[in-house]
Amino acid sequence: MSLKVTLIACSPEPEKLIAASAKLCYSDTSATQLMNGLTDEKTASFVEMLANIGHESPIEHVSFTFGIEGVSRTLLAQITRHRIASFSVQSQRYVKKSNFIYITPPEIEKDEKALEIFNKAMSESFEYYNTLTDILKKKHIEELTANGMDEKTAQTRAEKMAIEDARFVLPNACETKMVMTMNARSLMNFFRMRCCNRAQWEIRELATQMLKLCYDKAPTLFANAGPSCCKGACPEGRMTCGKISEVRQFFDNLKKSAD
């Protein structure tokens, strides 16, 4: 299954909200009056000015919510390190993996021998998962019915109890889904880190797709968004990928394609 990300929702008129919030700091006018008095041209000019001077706190008032599918549990471990965000993730505790989908790294997919070993490992993991589920489910049914629970309820309860422990054999490659919400300031930081060539390939692809969606919704706000080297020097020092020109060109083209 390939990675898929959708912009489910975002703050209405995000750039106007940011401009009004910033203007309020220096105005005796109400927030509503400031919103009503902002034209598209004034909004774009003010948001661009905020970006140029690095005044980022007003952009925290705007949030974006994404639906994310076709990503691995490996990615989940990385993305939840971005703490100023909200996550709702498909549970392996309550959702039985009867249709086992897993993510294959591109470098493994390119190598016939590596792919054969990888697919075998995935297949075996799924077999172990099902076997453990069956063993534990039978055990729990016996215990629950012995304690007076009716058969139908015991069947349902036992399966949930079984997969709670059987999931421990599922690999990091196992596919998951999530809904994630970030404010725009957190997104800027996310893009600086995860659009970088040194980021892991899966989260880099996710961040790149998210950036395109954000730029399409708020082009002035996200005009300079992307890896750190898009706006200045590479911060990676000796660990740099050495491809600043190519990276800048890539993200310029990405934004042009969204216009």
Beta bridge partner(s), residue 232:
none
What is the C-alpha to C-alpha distance for residues 139 and 123, in angstroms, rounded to an integer? 25
The label of the residue with tokens 């706006």 reads 231
Phi and psi at residue 133, to the nearest 5°: -60, -45
- The CA–CA distances, whole Å, from 133 to 83, 91, 93 equal 33, 16, 12
What is the C-alpha to C-alpha distance for residues 204 and 196, in angstroms, rounded to an integer? 7
Phi and psi at residue 181, to the nearest 5°: -120, 130
Phi and psi at residue 196, to the nearest 5°: -65, 145
Residue 60 carries which DSSP code? G
Amino acid identity of residue 207, one-letter, is A
C-alpha 22, offset from chain centre: 28
Alpha-helical (H) ranges within the chain are: 14-24, 31-36, 40-53, 73-79, 106-109, 112-146, 151-166, 184-194, 201-217, 244-258
Q: How far apart are the first and last CA of the chain?
A: 28
What is the C-alpha to C-alpha distance for residues 135 and 142, in angstroms, rounded to an integer? 11
Beta bridge partner(s), residue 82:
none
Q: Show which residues are catalytic.
A: 194
